[in-house]
Each structure stands twice: as C-alpha cells, then as structure tokens.
Structure 1
Amino acid sequence: MPKTNTPISSENQNFYVDTLHTGLNNPWGMVWLPDGRMLVTERKGELLVFENEQDTGTKISGFPETYERGQGGLMDIQLHPNYTENGWIYATYAKPGQGGGSTALIRFKLGNNEITDLETLYQTMPLSTSGVHFGSRIIFDKAGYLYFSTGERGTKGNAQNLANDLGKIHRLHADGRIPGDNPFVNTSGAKPSIWSYGHRNVQGMVYDGSNDLIYATEHGPRGGDELNIIEKGKNYGWPIITYGIDYSGAIISELTGKPGMEQPIHYWTPSIATCGLLYYTGDRYAGWQGNLFAGALALTHVARIEISNGKYTHEEKLLEGIGRVRHIAQSPDGFIYILTEGPGMLLKLMPLE
C-alpha cells in the first residue's frame, strides 16, 4: 500500500494518497452535504457523519433495523438532486422481514444528527434468507428519475423472471411512484418498476449526464465481471449468457452471446470483483476527465477506464494492493475519494502537477 504523501506516477496523472480515516469496518457508500459534511454508510447498519476531514465521525441515530447477513446490510446513499430545497436523502439497505430479508429503498431527512421523516419507497420481493447478492447502488438522471439496483440473491433464475424484483435495475420517481413510461408497465405479471433485467449483482452504477448514459459494473461468478451501458427494457443475459464459470468450476452456460441479450462493453476474466463506480467530471485531475473508475474488491485496486462514444478503449490499474475497494466518489469540489475495507479506510487522491 502506498504511504501517505508518497508521489505516485500513473499514465495521465500523478498524485498522492491522503489517508483521512482508518478504523472503518465495511464502509459502503458516501455523499457530501451542501454544508461540507460527509456521510458514510457502514454495512453493519450505521450511518456516520464527518464534520470535516479531521473528524473521526459520529453515528447518526434512528436508522432502522438492518438485516446484516453475509453481504447484506446498509449499502448506498445519495442526495436528492434538489436536496437544498427538499432535504431528502436516499439509501438502500437489507431490510429484515418474515422469511428473511430484502433490498429496500428509503428516504429520510437529517436533524441534529438524527434521522427524521423516514419513508420506505420500495422493498424488493421475494424475501430470501440468502446472504449474497443484495446489490445495490442509487443514481438520479438529469430528468430526476431514480434508479437502484438489486442482485438476484444467489438464485440465478430470478434475474430472468420479470415477476420478481431480483437481479434488476429499477426506475422510480423520487417519491417512489412508478413512471408511466417504464418498459414493463403494461406487461402482464411483470413488476412495473423494472428498467432492465438479467443482472447478477450490480454494485457499481453511475450516470453520465453529458451523454445521458448509465454505466453499471456487475459481479460475475469466477470471471465475467461486466461493464455495461444500461438501457430501457434490455436483458443483460444472466445466467443464460456469461463469460464466467461457477465457483466450483462447473459450467453455468456454454453461451457468451444470444440474440436479444446485451453484450458488456467490457468484461474481466479473472474476476476483479467490481464494486463502486465513478464517472469523473471535475477539473482537479486534467488527465482523467471523462474516465470511469471502478473498484476491485478481490484484486484490490482501482481500475481507471477510458471510454470513447460508449466504447471501452483502455484500462490502467491504480493503487494495486490498497485493499478491497468498495466505493469511489467525486466530492463537490472535484476530488476523488475512495472507501476500502480490510483495512477500512477513507482515502483522498491529491493531484500533483
């Protein structure tokens, strides 16, 4: 792991790592409030607020009971695009219920480090006792629609079944209503919130507002992690097509392509275990504008990805051995922050001329 303040040379931008915080457990998501405070989610069900970069973090009270099982827990967090007017904060977490748990989307407000006005906007069904593949990331597009991802909970067939919520990306209005132009609103038996399906476990999702594109990274099994462009009503193929094999070595499918199913714009074999995704739009790192940054849990690095007209063109590994990279985000003032687990750290990348 690079030491703090040690210059690091990379292809298009030199930088150093500023280690802001250590001692985190399994941090998952992060977002900045307009007053400069930072919110960080911990998978165990804790929401932390950092008053500044020297603060050690304070636990926000009032977060609901979390289904902390395996990969399940408190996951992503995002602000409403008009947060300064309405104060809404959105999160996804594993919600317990009769028969297991599920991925739920909530929104709430903050007052004196306490959650208020909490609303459950969507709870995925069916419930499952599985401890894997909950998703989940949240994004908003420029029209104000909300998208969130959910994994197939380890049951492969869920991803192709439009009658359940699992292995999908969902699209909602910001208040949880179903948009009338969603692709399966008029499909008998289908969940009307579904925007795309055939996903295994999307844990990275980002909106490119300049090109009106949604990028998502998805865990494959052994190999076959995917980078996709997400489009309305499309089927991304899991488990009918895949570039990976099962953890046992067994063949999941002989097919890597099939008519009517989307191809990734890139896939990783062996699996890097993709988690967290950033589309960089700032001006702090001149060489990185318009690049994607994907976290690697298993291979413990940040993948810097160059894209052109929606096509993958080049990749560079940054910070190899840094730890399990859970998320990467851009602050309002254009800096890149990274959350890792094992060890649990909050890092800031500082550009060098």
Structure 2
Amino acid sequence: MKRAFLPALFASAIILLSCSTKPANDVEKEEPKVADSTGFTVKTIYSELSNPWGMVWLPDGRLLVTERAGEILVFKNDKFTGEKLKGVPAVFNKGQGGLMDIKLHPDYKKNGWIYITYAKPVEGGATTALARFKLNGNNITDLTDIYTAKPYISADFHFGSRVVFDKDGYLYVSSGERGTQPKVQELDNDHGKIHRLFDDGRIPQDNPFVGQPGAHGSIWTLGHRNPQGMVYDAVNNHIWEVEHGPKGGDELNLIEKGKNYGWPKTSYGINYDGTVLTPNKELPGIENPKHYWVPSIATCGLSIVTGDKYPGWKGNLLVGALALMHINRVTINGTEYKSEQRLLQNKGRFRYVAESPDGYIYAVTEGPGALLKLIPNKK
C-alpha cells in the first residue's frame, strides 16, 4: 500500500486494516460488479496454511507453496504430501517479513534453477533478497543469493516482492520502499524500485540508469511503494504490476523501461489519519496508473489467464485482494484497463492467484489459510 512514513511500531498493524476513506476531491468511480460465481465451484485443497505467499508447479506435477515463516510445502495431485523442502534459508519472520515469492527459471527443465524472494536477516534489520537454488528430491542445493536490496533498513514492513521473467530470459524483481519515502525517487538505493537482472544476478548494460553517477544499475523503474504483484504477459510482451497505496490509491501499472511511477510525489490515496499525503494525483514526467482503487482493496499477487477453461477469461488479469477479501478479475484492452469483477467475496484474504500448467486457477488465502481450486462447471 502507498502511505506516508509511520513508525515501524504501528506500520505492521495498520497495513492489515481495510481502507474505507477516499479523498474528498477524488473522482467518483463506477462500482465494480460482483461476479456471478455459478460458472465454477471452489474446492478447498488444504485448509491449514499459515500466511502463504507464492506457489509454483514443477514439471513432475508437484506444487510448491511458500509460507512466510520460511517453509515450502509440497503438494501432488491436489493433496498435501506432508512433505516440505529442506534447506530453506533463514528468513526475517517479523512484521511483514519472511519467505515470499517462488518462480521457476524459463529453462528449468535444462538447468533446474528455482528462484525465491525473502526478507533476509542482516545487521541492523532485514532486506529484500533474491536467491536461486536447485532440488535433489526435497533437498535444496546450490543455494545462492543473487540480489539483495541496499542499503539495509531496520523497518519490518514493505519488502515487496515478486519475480517474473520476460521472453528474452531477463529477470525482474520488485522491492518495497520500506518507509523511506524520499529515497524512492532517488537512484542511489534499491527501495521502491523494480530491478532487471540476468538470471544469475548480473546487471544488463542496457538498463536505463547504467553509467549514471551514483545510480544503481539494476533499476528498471522507480517510484513504487509496496509492489506485491507482478506478471509477464507473454502474448503482448508486457509486464503488469500492482502495488499497495496508503489509505486508498492501490495501483495497476504497466511497467516500462526507465519510467517513474510517482510515489510519494503522486498518489490517489491519503494518510491514515485522513490528512493530505500529497496534493498531486498526476505530474509531468510521472507515469499514471492504468487503474487505481479507492478505497484500497489491498492488492497482492497478480496473474494472467492464458487458457480457455474459464469462458471469457482469457487475457484477463487476476488480482488478489487482502483488505476487501476477494479475487479481482480485471479485463484489459491492449494496454488499458477496461472493467473488473469481484470473485469469491469474503472467502479470505487472497495473497496470490495462479494458473496451473493444465489451465486451472488456484489461489492461496490467509485468515483462513487455505489452498483453493476453481473448477469450471460442466456445460
């Protein structure tokens, strides 16, 4: 969520609140439709998750689900095997910190690399880290951090983070701003940015700020608050991102090289105490969101439907909503937001939604912690 800096003592509690106030001068928006869910049924695969964050399918059919406390659970044939991966790195399991996203390398069948993001304990606090590893059975091997956000921050909130690969094999990882508002607009730090790397952590020399004095060369875009959703649209070669606003102003952004997405100079949200965060919703040189939510739905996790199992859904974005507890199905027209529908209202705090290799939609929730599967009804 985009918000003004608050002491770390209060930040973790506040982020969990549903945001219901909108700026007095904000434009009235059409109420999104609550979707008719009769086209599918919901199957609960597992109901004992604790703060799940990410999930990914291995070629052998196993599903890996990350939990923030630092565990990776193994599922097979829509059942929990009772197994967990061994050798997960130590995580900073405090506040919003912990184990987060998980992603396979595009050439996983050849090289075996799996990527995770996590809050890494460091001197003075924690930082967003990106690591990769291989598997030998359920044992993690060859574990290596290939990126850590710097400088290190003591705050226990706004770590981000998600990982995507594009068609050329470049890796993108998002990093939250950690409450360092002014620094988000500066290039001498990694916070509130999306970074572009080679798959081993090296920095591509055609990144937009490479060679600029004092700038961190990994930066691809800046001006983000807490980006907890990101997906690559392979059909159109686009990267979409969602991030938390403060009290109002969650954003859907189209990510493009070198652009500035505004935080904290621009926002459609306000401070938690109701005061004005910034008078600016738009500014020259700032990339406007393709859509924003007031009140905040607390966006988390983002995927794109590529299959045909759900009529009319192909090409839609699926956004997890924490505070308003639903899956948000967003229809896009090229690079523009078109409409949305809310699915599974009040079913839980949706942390992530993903499409399996065989085209089914799965979701993980917290409060209650569950793994769900959306099964299309037979015609």
Query: Do they superpose with TM above 0.5?
Result: yes
Q: Distance in 2 between matches of 1:155 and 1:249?
A: 20
The alpha-carbon deviation at position 18 of structure 1 amounts to: 0.7
Q: 1:259 aligns with which of 258, 270, 284?
A: 284
Partner of 2:324: 299
Note the C-alpha offset of 1:13. Answer: 7.4
CA positional deviation for 1:131: 1.3
* Residue 240 (1) aligns with residue 265 (2): yes
Aligned position for 2:146: 121
2:115 counterpart of 1:98? no
Matched residue of 1:159: which SS?
A: helix
TM-score by length of 2: 0.89
Partner residue of 2:251?
A: 226
1:31-77 per-residue CA deviation (whole Å, 9 max, x = no partner) reads 00000001010001111111331224422111111011111100000
Which consecutive unaligned segments of at least 5 residues does structure 2 have? 1-33
Structure 1 window deviating more from structure 2 (236-245 vs 155-164): it is 155-164
TM-score (norm 1): 0.96
Answering whether residue 40 of structure 2 is matched by residue 15 of structure 1, we say yes
**Residue 179 (structure 2) pairs with residue 170 (structure 1):** no
> Residue 41 of structure 1 contacts residue 47 of structure 1 at CA under 8 Å; is this kept in 2?
yes
> What is the DSSP-based 3-state SS (H/G/I as helix, E as strand, rest coil) of the residue aligned with 1:117?
strand
* Contact 1:323–1:341 under 8 Å retained in 2: yes
Moved more, 167-176 or 123-132: 123-132
- SS for the counterpart of 1:288 is coil
Secondary structure of 1:85's aligned partner: helix
Local SS of the residue matching 2:90: coil
Q: Closer, same or farther in 2 for the Cα pair 1:237/1:167, shift >3 Å? A: same
| Corresponding position: 1:217 with 2:242 | yes
Cα pair 1:302 1:320 within 8 Å, conserved: yes
Q: 1:269 aligns with which of 286, 294, 311?
A: 294
What residue in structure 2 maps to residue 85 of structure 1? Answer: 110
Of stretches 29-38 and 63-72 in structure 1, the one that deviates more from structure 2 is: 63-72
Q: Which residue of 1 aligns with 2:182?
A: 157
How far, CA to CA, are the matches of 1:57 and 1:214 in structure 2? 35
Q: Percent identity?
A: 60
Q: Structure 1 unaligned runs (5+)? A: 1-8
Partners of 1:295 and 1:54 in 2: how far apart? Answer: 23
Q: Give the corresponding residue for 1:322.
A: 347
Q: Which residue number corresponds to residue 3 of structure 1?
A: none
Residue 159 of structure 1, CA deviation: 1.3
What secondary structure does 1:278 align onto?
Answer: strand
3-state SS of 1:119 partner = strand
Match of 1:68 in 2: 93
Question: How big is each residue's C-alpha offset from its partner over 1:185-218, in whole Å with a ceiling of 9 and x where there is no partner?
Answer: 0211010000000000000100101111100001
Compute the displacement of 1:252 (Å). Answer: 1.1
Is contact 1:13–1:286 with CA below 8 Å preserved after alignment?
Answer: no
For 1:173 and 1:284, locate their aligned partners in 2 and report how far apart those are by CA, in whole Å: 34
Letter of the aligned partner of 2:89 in structure 1? Answer: P
Aligned position for 1:131: 156
CA, structure 1 residues 138+209, in 2 after alignment: closer, same or farther (shift >3 Å)?
same
How far the C-alpha of 1:11 sits from its partner, in A, is 5.3
Is the counterpart of residue 184 in structure 1 residue 214 in structure 2? Answer: no
RMSD: 1.2
User: Take 1:187 and 1:49, find their aligned partners in 2: how far apart are those partners?
Assistant: 44
Q: Is the 8 A contact 1:293 1:304 kept in 2?
A: yes
Structure with more relative contact order (C-alpha pairs < 8 Å, separation 6 or more): 2
AA aligned to 1:18 is K
Paired letter, 1:129: S
Greater mean alpha carbon deviation, residues 23-32 or residues 126-135: 126-135
Please point out which of 231, 242, 246 is paired with 1:206.
Answer: 231
